[in-house]
Amino acid sequence: MSKKESFRTVALKTYGRFVHAHVTSPKHRFTQRRSHQRRASIKGIKAASERGLMIRSRRAVSWLLPGLVVKRWLLTSGLGLLMALLGAAIWADLKPIYWIIETLVWLLGTITTVLPRSITGPLVVLIGAALVLWGQSRSFGSIQQALAPDKDTVLVDALRAKSKLNRGPNIVAIGGGTGLSTLLSGLKRYSSNITAIVTVADDGGSSGVLRRELGVQPPGDIRNCLAALSTEEPLLTRLFQYRFSAGSGLEGHSFGNLFLSALSAITGNLETAITASSRVLAVQGQVVPATNADVQLWAELENGQRIEGESAIGKAPSPIVRLGCLPAQPPALPRALEAISNADLILLGPGSLYTSLLPNLLVPALVRTIQQSRAPKLYICNLMTQPGETDGLDVVGHLRAIEAQLASLGISQKLFNAVLTQDDLGESPLVKHYQARGAEPVNCDAQALIAKGYELMQAPLQGKRPRATLRHDPRSLALAVMRFYRKHKKNAQ
């Protein structure tokens, strides 16, 4: 090896060691990390910007979709403005139109002498389109800020959701207790045309005390339904459901019960009080009492005993064979009858059989209107039996009790000829907990129901998430109900 080649080899090795030392030094690694982080940050900002642009573009296109009931009125307003200007011009002997045309000709001629038409035309179009988009976005932003300053929902999304709900089916849900409010909280995702017809036979708890001391109809079940259909802020709904845990005379009462009772006293009846409360809570649909009469339930038991009062019937010592009320034939409210007549779907349940569901069928006018309706009718069965009320009853037994109630009004045909029940619950610690307290899963004999002429639909109504109680899940229940409705609607076409 020559001296020149040896020097080159040594130089290359020395340079390699220097580069290696520099690359592996802490300072270089730190600089490299900062560089990577900066590049990643830039990429993230670009991706977020592109996503934001896509979302804004999609929302802009959403304004062109049918059903928003906005475009037609904007077009009508623009047409009206144009006609008003044209009318003013005619009134002024067409001179304003002449002046405008002359001004436009002069302006366009001046512009085109500076810039060619190939540039001026697109530029003016772009400026005009930008001004229109900017003006409309600012206008709708101001409207949204005025209507919902604290909500994150974009106006076009809110209008689309509202339009979809307004096109939903007319649903009438009949019942009471927690079962009806659970159903309503799920159904309001599919329609705003919901009518809840609620029993007013409660005589226990806060409702019973207010009923006895103030002479008002029991507000408890109605309060729950109003809260379930409310679209107002959650805090206001929680306030309506708040129950006082202390205080002389207040303990055990809920704020909503006191509010409805006070409004009933001011307005003269519960129906008007419900209408006022619905406006306060922005209720999606309407809540109507089954009757405006002061109803008192009574029941005859298998052992020959007769008991009175809704709270006593819920703890009956013997199976119930007959249910009635005083006054014997309470009147129905016109709003309830109108809702049933216009219904696309009529639901009964879920809820306590003898204290929440059947009391509504003690109102003859309601039953006759349901019978005359051509809408599909669905009975939603409970998940578990209720000790003292439905001990030992399966789905067939629940339906037999409904048929017997209708037979007392002279109706022999099936009023609710379709049944929605829970899939087999199986064995679980939660089921065993209920069984230890005297409740059992409501068994469903599918063959017996079909043989009796009932249409049977089974679904997982408890939901997939584990819960501390065996109750219907609002979303799962509403989903099953809407599947039933869509199936019948498709078959009817």
**Residue 311: CATH number of its domain:** 3.40.50.10680
Please give the pLDDT value at position 19.
45
29 and 78 both lie in a single domain: no
150 and 19 both lie in a single domain: no
Taking residues 439-459, report their average pLDDT.
94
pLDDT higher than 80, residue 141:
no
Contacts of the segment 470-474: beta carbons below 8 A, 24+ positions apart: 470/383, 470/384, 470/425, 470/430, 470/431, 470/434, 471/178, 471/182, 471/383, 472/179, 472/182, 472/183, 472/350, 472/380, 472/383, 473/186, 474/182, 474/183, 474/185, 474/186
Query: Residue 271 domain-assigned?
Result: no
Query: Residue 236 domain-assigned?
Result: no
329 and 402 both lie in a single domain: yes
Taking residues 392-415, report their average pLDDT.
92
Which residue intervals of 115-176 are DSSP H helices?
A: 117-147, 155-166
186: left (phi over 0), alpha (psi -120 to 50) or beta: alpha
Question: What is the overall mean pLDDT for the chain?
Answer: 84
pLDDT higher than 50, residue 18:
no
Q: Which residues, 6 or more positions from 219, have their beta carbon under 8 angstroms from its beta carbon?
A: 207, 210, 256, 257, 260, 261, 264, 270
Q: How far apart are CA 187 and CA 171, in angstroms?
A: 9
Structure tokens at 123: 């530029």
Taking residues 376-392, report their average pLDDT.
94
Please give the pLDDT value at position 97.
72
Residue 289's DSSP bridge partners are 198
Pick the more confident residue, 408 or 55.
408
Q: What are phi and psi of 322, to 5 degrees?
A: -155, 140
Pick the more confident residue, 215 or 47.
215
Alpha carbon distances (Å) from 186 to 180, 220, 481: 10, 20, 10
Pick the more confident residue, 117 or 175.
175
Q: Which residues, 6 or more positions from 458, have their beta carbon under 8 angstroms from its beta carbon?
A: 420, 421, 422, 423, 444, 446
Taking residues 334-355, report their average pLDDT.
96
Taking residues 169-196, report their average pLDDT.
96
Question: What's at 429, amino acid-wise?
Answer: P
351 and 463 both lie in a single domain: yes
Q: Which residues, 6 or more positions from 373, have their beta carbon under 8 angstroms from its beta carbon?
A: 340, 341, 343, 346
Taking residues 26-54, report their average pLDDT.
65
Please give the pLDDT value at position 470.
86
Number of domains in the chain: 3
pLDDT higher than 70, residue 145:
no
Rounded to 5°, angle at Cα 97 from 91 and 99? 120
113 and 184 both lie in a single domain: no
Query: Residue 419 domain-assigned?
Result: yes
pLDDT higher than 60, residue 15:
no
pLDDT higher than 80, residue 353:
yes
- Spatial strand order of the sheet with 286-289 comes to 286-289, 194-198, 171-175, 345-348, 377-380, 418-422, 455-459
How many CB atoms within 10 Å of residue 31? 11
Lowest average pLDDT, out of 112-126, 270-284, 456-470, 472-486, goes to 112-126
Question: The whole model's pTM is what?
Answer: 0.77
Query: Residue 244 domain-assigned?
Result: no
Residue 174's DSSP bridge partners are 197, 348
335 and 412 both lie in a single domain: yes
pLDDT higher than 90, residue 7:
no
Taking residues 166-189, report their average pLDDT.
95
pLDDT higher than 60, residue 151:
no
50 and 178 both lie in a single domain: no
Please give the pLDDT value at position 58.
63
Q: How far apart are CA 208 and CA 308, in angstroms?
A: 14
Pick the more confident residue, 49 or 11.
49
How many CB atoms within 10 Å of residue 266? 10
Query: Residue 269 domain-assigned?
Result: no
334 and 470 both lie in a single domain: yes
Please give the pLDDT value at position 338.
97
Q: How far apart are CA 283 and CA 296, in angstroms?
A: 29
452 and 365 both lie in a single domain: yes
Q: Which residues, 6 or more positions from 273, have their beta carbon under 8 angstroms from its beta carbon?
A: 260, 263, 264, 266, 267
pLDDT classification of 60: cutoffs 50, 70, 90: low
446 and 474 both lie in a single domain: yes
155 and 172 both lie in a single domain: no
Structure letter (DSSP) for residue 32: H
Q: To the nearest whole percent, how much of the chain has pLDDT over 70? A: 81
Residue 420's DSSP bridge partners are 380, 457
Please give the pLDDT value at position 443.
94
Pick the more confident residue, 130 or 39.
130
With 0-12 / 13-18 / 19 or more C-beta atoms within 10 angstroms meaning exposed / middle / buried, residue 391 is: middle
Query: Residue 238 domain-assigned?
Result: no
Taking the CA atoms of residue 90, residue 95, residue 98 and residue 104 in that order, the dihedral angle to the nearest 10 degrees is -100
Query: Residue 5 domain-assigned?
Result: no
pLDDT higher than 50, residue 39:
yes
pLDDT higher than 90, residue 144:
no
pLDDT higher than 70, residue 420:
yes
Instruction: State the angle between helix axes of 95-114 and 117-147 in degrees (0 to 180), rounded to the nearest 10.
Output: 120
pLDDT higher than 90, residue 169:
yes
Pick the more confident residue, 35 or 459.
459
How many CB atoms within 10 Å of residue 399? 21
Q: What are phi and psi of 422, to 5 degrees?
A: -75, 145
Lowest average pLDDT, out of 75-89, 176-190, 235-249, 314-328, goes to 75-89
Please give the pLDDT value at position 8.
54
Structure tokens at 84: 């008003």
**Tens digit of each residue's pLDDT (9 = 90 or more) over 69-118:** 666 777 788 788 888 877 877 777 766 777 777 887 787 777 777 777 77
pLDDT higher than 90, residue 61:
no
Taking residues 346-356, report their average pLDDT.
95
- DSSP of 224-251, one letter per residue? HHHHHHB-S-HHHHHHHH-B--SSTTTT
Strands 345-348 and 171-175: parallel
99 and 185 both lie in a single domain: no
Pick the more confident residue, 375 or 33.
375
Question: What's at 233, amino acid-wise?
Answer: E
Q: Look at residues 350, 41, 13, 307 and name the one whose alpha carbon lies nearest to residue 175.
A: 350
Taking residues 30-52, report their average pLDDT.
67
Query: Residue 254 domain-assigned?
Result: no
pLDDT higher than 90, residue 14:
no
pLDDT higher than 80, residue 24:
no
Q: Which residue has the tokens 């932003």?
A: 141
Where in the sequence is the domain holding 388, given as residue range(s)?
A: 168-199+290-492
pLDDT higher than 50, residue 475:
yes
Taking residues 33-40, report their average pLDDT.
68
Please give the pLDDT value at position 116.
77
Residues in the chain: 493
User: Over the range 187-224, which residues count as b (16 or more CB within 10 Å of their CB) and which as e?
Assistant: bbbbbbbbbbbbbbbbbbbbbbbbbeeeebbbbbbbbb
